[in-house]
Homo-oligomer: A and B are copies of this chain.
Amino acid sequence: MLSTKFAIPDVIFGRGAITHLAQCAKRVGAQRVFFVSDKGVEDAGWVGLVKGILRANGLECVYFNDVNSNPRDTQVQQGVEAYREGECDVVVAIGGGSPMDAAKGIATIVGNGGEIRDYEGANRIMRPLPPMIFIPSTAGSSSDISQFCIITDIKRRVKMSIISRSLVPGISIIDPQLLVTQDRSLILASGIDALAHAIESYVSRLASPFTELHARNAIRLIIDNLIPAAEDKDIQALEQLSIASTSAGMSFSNAGLGDLHALAHALGGVCDVLHGWVHPTLLPSVMRYNMPSCMAKMGDIGRLIALTDTASDREAAHMGIERLERLFGELNLNTKLRELVPEKSDLEQICATATYDACHLTNPRPASAEDLMSICEEAW
């Protein structure tokens, strides 16, 4: 076994956890909070709640909401200017992956200077960031847990993966009550993203006993709770998805991901699709491709997904993939890559770009651009 690392933020978890925000902000020295969110979270009422909590506790706040899904380098730059102008000292973000990743990008430049593209790849952030406190409003991206930050480079049409220990926030406040304002579509896209994080990190080259424990926990909980959470907005099921997403985050943040995410990032740079909707089109094909390199682990995954106790890893692995395909069908999700990518001729560029993504490095089976092309052909 190689040496592995396992690093996570301080996690405050539970219904009502958001009320601890001001205390946490003061603990890390806040006087003027830079607060990042987006219009969807505003409409759900959570931005007002956070502003109220900060105000009631004597904390000033500069609010920034110019963030769309798949946040852009230009938006990060605008945030940096707002942070500097506001003379802020701590970054708070509430939302899904987009506001949290935008906040990470802003904190990176505030602490290190330059432009966000200077930090693309792994371990390129050298100086400390201002303290970050994140509050997820979806159960999926786990940006509140992870050392990942994904920002779109508009000119190059590339979603950059930026990975650094410094990008793990100091504190993650996870309040499952926030999940009730999501619609069915967002619950599913987020939950399936968390499932993809768990599956890819479980078979990653950098997996450790601690990441594996959390990955298995996440897979089991998502399979049990995704449908009641999405179809009935069952609060117990949403809470379990929140635990699952957090476990998946603890896993992939430390173990890394694989070629599903490498492809999803490359694809997201070309077409502005919600990240979670890429997985139903590509996940089964990537799992089939990787199977020969990690049959025992694919067997574990299959047993968790298909609720089987068959002793054969190969049989369990196939049963798991087939069960996933049926699940995506029952949920009426698009499983055809051609519905996402405008022109089939874009695939070549997407596959070439994916081989440069940091997630490609931890995929369990080596893959050339041609191998990725064959995966995309199968999923087309």
Contacts and interface: CB of A to CB of B under 8 A. Distances in A.
Contacts of A1: 14-15, 239
A11 interface: yes
A77 to B, nearest CB: 29
A208 B214 CA distance: 14
A326 to B, nearest CB: 28
A379 interface: no
Contacts of A243: 209-210
A213 B209 contact: no
A247 B10 CA distance: 16
A53 interface: no
Given A6-B11, A11-B6, A14-B1, A213 B213 contact: yes
Interface string A171-212: 000000000000000000000000000000000000011100
Interface in A203-244: 208-210, 213-214, 217, 239, 243
Interface residues of A, number: 29
B3 A11 contact: no
A17 interface: yes
A217 B208 contact: no
A96 to B, nearest CB: 21
A84 interface: no
A290 to B, nearest CB: 23
Contact of A3 (B14, B217, B246): B14
Contact of A5 (B7, B12, B16, B19): B12
What is the total number of copies of this protein in its complex? 2
Contacts of A19: 3
Interface in A1-29: 1-8, 10-17, 19-20
Interface in A148-166: 165
B15 A5 contact: no
Interface string A99-112: 00000000000000
B14 A6 contact: no
Given A5-B11, A10-B7, A213 B214 contact: yes
Contacts of A246: 210
Contact of A2 (B4, B6, B14, B239): B14
Given A210-B246, A243-B209, A20 B7 contact: no
Contacts of A8: 6, 8
Interface centre among A4, A5, A209 (most CB of B within 10 A): A209
Contacts of A14: 1-4, 208
Contacts of A17: 3
B13 A3 contact: yes
Nearest to A20: B3
A244 to B, nearest CB: 9
B208 A13 contact: yes
A3 B8 CA distance: 18
B16 A12 contact: no
Nearest to A15: B1
19 contacts: A1-B15, A1-B239, A3-B12, A3-B13, A3-B17, A3-B20, A4-B12, A5-B11, A6-B8, A6-B10, A7-B10, A8-B8, A13-B208, A13-B210, A210-B243, A210-B246, A213-B214, A213-B217, A213-B247
Given A3-B16, A6-B13, 11 more contacts: A2-B14, A3-B14, A3-B17, A4-B12, A5-B10, A6-B11, A7-B10, A8-B8, A13-B209, A13-B210, A210-B246
